[in-house]
């Protein structure tokens, strides 16, 4: 196995480099960030791998002798570079002088995902296949659930070890268990958290109450884990049997998902597009993030959530580049809070709370207050169909829903308002939560994600929040209303932008 790191890596990757001039947006030649990142990766080729990022899911820990390859089972993190799981798999394969393989198991359906999300994923995987090909890494697309198709592939190809990434939702966790049961007992099965900056099980061994309780733990560990990525290089050992080119039409046809929710045009899939979006954020929007991130009429957000969700870009890469190239001031700190502390708090919640998507997963005070007010008269009652079609008496809510349906996203501030109004308009908290999750996971490009579950649970069930002044329907759950939104931003301008759009 690759050697254990003896000391934390230096902080070079997290240190700011050349910054834009104060008081204005910097204009740089398009593509500057991709060139910078390529140089940084190349310079870190010899960086040791911090084995705190991994854990063994199997009893066996030594690569099976006489095997013909090491396999990285790609799941949540669908990229080649800046992927700690693939970096580890390649180093393991090099140590053992074995070929390196990557496989992705395409299930016909995934939770509430529609062709909008699945199409984004498949088109991103096309880029993965091409990049693997240039690096002499064999890429395989297996059709079917991982537990059904992966163990047989490992046996047939005589893989000596399997490395995978980490996904805290119950279905992917079950996939990992199914694969573990099917693998030969002498094949090591290793999991690497390639999604979080600080591995989920290292940041905390329990469910954290709030951002306040996890922030210090993560901040303390950032110097060790917020490091530059080494390059995934051209692999020196070629496989005796090459992977067949993927039949993407067959893969597309195998999907059993709702195709009525179409793909969107604004978000182009793949790591290349993700890097371009990150570059535009740093150059054009980042300096406004602290002051205007809660204003849906301002272009101040990163817009990276689709690529982060699908693992086509690493949150660690995003944070490194923001810290390295961002403007001096509060925006960088505010963004790091969102991209690291809040995102990793969501993974923590879903991993340690088996009821992360139902009212039973809320704190006792929240469950009690929701029960106490479950039969309160609602000012309006809408059906799920009326909500889906944006047919309510609240123009701001309708505008947010139309944006979600048409663009596959809703502004982060409005998503809180959007979910809280569903609590106000549904007969029970349980129906409100299930409806909010259904709509978010059906239409949002970053749906079916820990951040989405926690966002709805925060809005409706008070997760990671505290009790507030008691009121009808909401009880002690934090309240938001139309008047409060009008104090934050120009509500009529947002309504005009979307309410004229037909669904």
Q: Are residues 238 and 385 in the same domain?
A: no
pLDDT at position 223: 96
- In the block, tokens 């104090």 appear at 487
Q: Specify if 343 maps to a domain.
A: no
The model's pTM:
0.93
Long-range contacts of 395-402 (CB under 8 A, 24+ apart): 395/495, 395/499, 396/482, 396/485, 396/491, 396/494, 396/495, 397/421, 398/495, 398/498, 398/499, 399/494, 399/495, 399/497, 399/498, 399/499, 400/498, 401/439, 402/498, 402/499, 402/501, 402/503
Q: Which three-class secondary structure state does DSSP give residue 108?
A: coil
Q: Specify if 3 maps to a domain.
A: no
pLDDT band at residue 503 using 50, 70 and 90 as cut-offs: confident
Residues 6+ apart with CB under 8 A from 386: 392
Q: Are residues 183 and 69 in the same domain?
A: yes
- Domain span including residue 153: 45-196+227-254
How many Cβ atoms are within 10 Å of 437's Cβ, its own excluded? 24
The CA distance from 407 to 444, in Å, is 8
For residue 19, is pLDDT > 80?
no
Q: Specify if 308 maps to a domain.
A: no
Q: Are residues 232 and 381 in the same domain?
A: no
Chain segment 219-241, per-residue pLDDT in tens: 999 999 999 999 999 999 998 88
> What share of the chain in percent tops pLDDT 70?
95
- The CATH number of residue 443's host domain is 1.10.579.10
pLDDT at position 4: 41
Token digits of residue 71: 């396999």
Q: Specify if 314 maps to a domain.
A: no
pLDDT at position 27: 67
Q: Specify if 76 maps to a domain.
A: yes
CB contact at 8 A, 98 and 70:
yes
- The CATH number of residue 250's host domain is 3.40.50.620
The CA distance from 219 to 221, in Å, is 5
Long-range contacts of 462-468 (CB under 8 A, 24+ apart): 462/362, 462/363, 462/365, 462/366, 462/369, 463/349, 463/361, 463/362, 463/363, 463/366, 464/209, 464/210, 464/211, 464/345, 464/349, 465/210, 466/210, 467/365, 467/366, 467/369
Token digits of residue 470: 């008691």
Maximum separation of any 2 CA atoms in the chain, in Å: 70
Q: Domain tally for the chain?
A: 2
The CA distance from 452 to 474, in Å, is 20
Q: Specify if 155 maps to a domain.
A: yes
Chain segment 38-50, per-residue pLDDT in tens: 999 999 988 899 9
Mean pLDDT rounded to a whole number for the chain: 94
Q: Are residues 248 and 387 in the same domain?
A: no
Chain segment 108-145, per-residue pLDDT in tens: 999 889 999 999 999 999 999 999 999 999 999 999 99
Measure CA 308 to chain center.
Answer: 4
Q: Specify if 152 maps to a domain.
A: yes
Average pLDDT over residues 186-191: 98
pLDDT at position 21: 44
Chain segment 87-116, per-residue pLDDT in tens: 999 999 999 999 999 999 999 999 889 999
Q: Specify if 304 maps to a domain.
A: no
pLDDT at position 26: 53
Q: Are residues 238 and 372 in the same domain?
A: no
Report which DSSP code applies to 281: I
The CA distance from 240 to 243, in Å, is 10
Chain segment 281-334, per-residue pLDDT in tens: 999 999 999 999 999 999 999 999 999 999 999 999 999 999 999 998 999 999
The last residue of a domain, from among 236, 254, 272? 254
- φ and ψ at 311, to 5 degrees? 70, 20
For residue 357, is pLDDT > 50?
yes
pLDDT band at residue 28 using 50, 70 and 90 as cut-offs: confident
pLDDT at position 115: 95
- Distances in Å between the alpha carbon of 324 and those of 17, 31, 191? 5, 16, 29
């Amino acid at each position: 196995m690759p050697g254990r790191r003896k000391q934390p890596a230096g902080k070079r990757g997290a240190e700011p480099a050349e910054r834009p001039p104060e008081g204005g947006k910097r204009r740089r030649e398009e593509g500057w960030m991709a060139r910078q990142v390529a140089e940084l990766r190349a310079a870190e080729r010899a960086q040791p791998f911090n084995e705190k990022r991994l854990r063994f899911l199997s009893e066996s820990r030594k690569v099976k002798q006489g095997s013909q390859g090491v396999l990285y089972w790609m799941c949540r993190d669908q990229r080649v570079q800046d992927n700690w799981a693939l970096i580890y798999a390649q180093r393991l394969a090099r140590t053992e002088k074995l070929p390196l393989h990557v496989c992705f198991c395409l299930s016909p359906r995934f939770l509430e995902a529609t062709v909008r999300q699945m199409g984004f994923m498949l088109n991103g995987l096309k880029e993965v296949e091409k990049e693997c090909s240039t690096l002499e890494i064999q890429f395989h697309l297996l059709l079917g659930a991982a537990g059904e198709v992966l163990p047989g592939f490992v046996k047939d190809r005589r893989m000596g070890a399997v490395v995978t990434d980490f996904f805290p939702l119950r279905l992917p966790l079950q996939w990992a268990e199914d694969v573990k049961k099917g693998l030969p007992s002498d094949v090591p099965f290793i999991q690497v958290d390639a999604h979080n900056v600080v591995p989920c099980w290292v940041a905390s061994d329990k469910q954290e109450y709030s951002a306040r309780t996890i922030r210090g733990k993560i901040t303390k560990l950032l110097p060790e884990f917020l490091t530059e990525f080494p390059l995934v290089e051209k692999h020196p050992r070629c496989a005796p049997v090459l992977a067949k080119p993927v039949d993407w039409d067959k893969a597309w046809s195998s999907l059993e998902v709702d195709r009525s929710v179409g793909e969107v045009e604004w978000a182009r899939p793949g790591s290349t597009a993700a890097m371009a979006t990150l570059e535009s954020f740093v150059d054009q929007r980042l300096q406004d993030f602290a002051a205007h991130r809660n204003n849906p009429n301002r272009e101040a957000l990163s817009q990276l959530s689709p690529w982060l969700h699908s693992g086509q870009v690493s949150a660690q890469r995003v944070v490194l580049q923001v810290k390295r190239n961002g403007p001096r001031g509060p925006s960088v700190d505010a963004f790091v809070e969102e991209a690291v502390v809040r995102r990793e708090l969501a993974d923590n919640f879903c991993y340690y709370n088996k009821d992360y998507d139902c009212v039973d997963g809320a704190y006792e005070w929240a469950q009690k207050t929701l029960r106490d007010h479950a039969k309160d008269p609602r000012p309006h009652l809408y059906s799920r169909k009326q909500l889906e079609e944006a047919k309510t008496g609240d123009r701001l809510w309708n505008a947010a829903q139309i944006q979600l349906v048409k663009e596959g996203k809703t502004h982060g501030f409005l998503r809180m308002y959007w979910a809280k109004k569903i609590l106000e308009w549904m007969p029970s908290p349980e129906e409100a939560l299930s409806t909010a999750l259904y709509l978010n996971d059906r239409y949002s490009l970053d749906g079916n994600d820990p951040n989405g579950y926690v966002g709805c649970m925060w809005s409706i069930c008070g997760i990671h929040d505290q009790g507030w002044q008691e009121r009808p329907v909401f009880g002690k759950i934090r309240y938001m209303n139309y008047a409060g939104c009008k104090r934050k931003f120009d509500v009529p301008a947002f309504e005009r932008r979307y309410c004229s759009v037909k669904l």
